[in-house]
């Protein structure tokens, strides 16, 4: 019902809402719904397990630091610790729901069609994503190049970033030339092989969900 753009809007609205409210109840409801959706959509259990694993430390960390070291009474600290811990949980699982079955390609193409993002940005960003794995290699060869010369490049030194940028500049030029040579012209009109329409039913759903959130908040006592 919702396309990628609508899902992103909803995810942002939810995260804004829970960032500015302190309801453990709402957070638990949102987490449960997102978790169930992952199960219903048959996401591999291994992947869900990975999200749980990612969540454990920051959730406990957020909880403990507010529970143990908060400035209020013990009850207030417990409440605030639970709010902060469950908030991280919601962030991670709403993030998982958002990225579930959605590639950066679909998201960017939808944003382009739905929100009139420029083609230069859409395809420039998409092209850049292909280099993600190559940065890993580049990073090891930069460090090796340093060590071969008796230097250890530390992460707080500018050289490491500068050398990564040298790669980035070279790649951006090569790829931009190739894309230009394949007919990409900044600002020119293009055809669309696929459509990413935003359905009305999706908007209705978003509104209903947001109303439901307010209702839960209204009745939430913790």
Partner 1 sequence: MKQKWTLQNVILLALIGVIFSVIYWIMDPVYQIVNSGLAVIGLQAFTNEITLGVWMMAGPLASYILKKIGAGFIGEMLGAAGEMFLGGSYGVGTLLSGFIQGIGSELGFALTGYKNWFAGLWLSTLTGTVVSFGWDLFKSGYIHYKLGLLVALFIVRYLSIFFFSGVLVHLIAKLLDRSKLLSHE
Partner 2 sequence: MAITARNLTVAYRDQAIIDDLNLTLEKKTLTLLMGPSGSGKSTLLKALAGLYPQYGGQVSGKIEIDQTAIATLKANERAKRVALLFQNPDDQFAMPTVREEFIFALENLELDKDEIDQKTAWALEKVGLTDFIDRSFVTLSGGEMQKVALAEVLALGADYLLLDEPFAAVDSQSREDLQVLLQQLSQEGYGILVSDHDPAGYFDKISQFYQLKEKALVLVPENDWSQYDYQKQTVVLKPAAESDQAQDTAYRFDNLRIQNGERLVLDQDILQIFAAGITLLTGPNGVGKSSVLKTLARLHRYEGSLTYQEQEVHAWKPRLYFGQVGLLFQSASDQFLNITVDEELDQVMAKSHHADFWTKEILDQWLSDLHLTGLGDQSVYTLSGGQQKKLQLLLMLIMAPQVLFLDEPLAGLDEQSVAVVLNLIQTCQQALGLTILVVSHQTRDLVNIVDRHLRYEQTAMAYQEEVLV
Can you tell me which of 6, 26, 63, 80 binds partner 1, judged by CB under 8 A?
A: 80
Q: Which of 96, 93, 95, 86 is nearest to 18 (CA)?
A: 86
Can you tell me which of 9, 175, 216, 217 binds partner 1, judged by CB under 8 A?
A: 175
9 binds partner 1 (CB under 8 A): no
- Segment near partner 1 (CB under 8 A); pick from 38-46, 61-69, 141-149, 191-199: 61-69
218 binds partner 1 (CB under 8 A): no
d(CA 47, CA 92): 12
Choose from partner 2, partner 1, none: what does 148 bind? Cβ within 5-8 Å by kind. partner 2
User: CB-based contacts of 179: which residues, under 8 Å, 6+ apart?
Assistant: 123, 127
117 binds partner 1 (CB under 8 A): no
Contacting positions for partner 1 (CB under 8 A): 11-12, 14-16, 19-20, 22, 50-51, 54-55, 57-58, 61, 64-66, 68-69, 71-72, 80, 84, 87-88, 90-96, 98-99, 104, 118, 120-121, 123-125, 127-129, 131-132, 135, 156, 158-159, 161-162, 164-166, 168-169, 171-173, 175-176, 179-180, 184, 186
């Amino acid at each position: 019902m919702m396309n990628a753009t609508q899902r992103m809007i909803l995810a942002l609205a939810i995260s804004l809402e829970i960032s500015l409210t302190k309801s453990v109840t709402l957070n638990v409801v949102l987490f449960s719904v997102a978790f169930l959706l992952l199960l219903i959509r048959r996401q591999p259990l291994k992947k869900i397990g990975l999200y749980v694993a990612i969540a454990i430390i920051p959730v406990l960390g957020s909880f403990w630091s507010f529970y143990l070291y908060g400035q209020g009474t013990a009850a207030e600290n417990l409440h605030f610790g639970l709010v902060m811990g469950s908030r991280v949980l919601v962030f991670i699982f709403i993030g998982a729901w958002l990225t579930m079955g959605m590639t950066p390609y679909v998201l960017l193409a939808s944003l382009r069609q739905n929100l009139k993002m420029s083609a230069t940005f859409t395809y420039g960003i998409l092209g850049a994503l292909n280099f993600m794995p190559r940065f890993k290699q580049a990073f090891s060869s930069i460090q090796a190049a340093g060590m071969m010369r008796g230097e250890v490049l530390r992460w707080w030194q500018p050289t490491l970033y500068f050398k990564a940028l040298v790669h980035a500049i070279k790649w951006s030029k090569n790829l931009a030339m190739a894309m230009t040579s394949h007919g990409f012209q900044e600002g020119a009109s293009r055809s669309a092989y696929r459509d990413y329409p935003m359905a009305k039913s999706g908007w209705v759903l978003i509104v209903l969900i947001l109303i439901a959130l307010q209702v839960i908040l209204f009745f939430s006592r913790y």
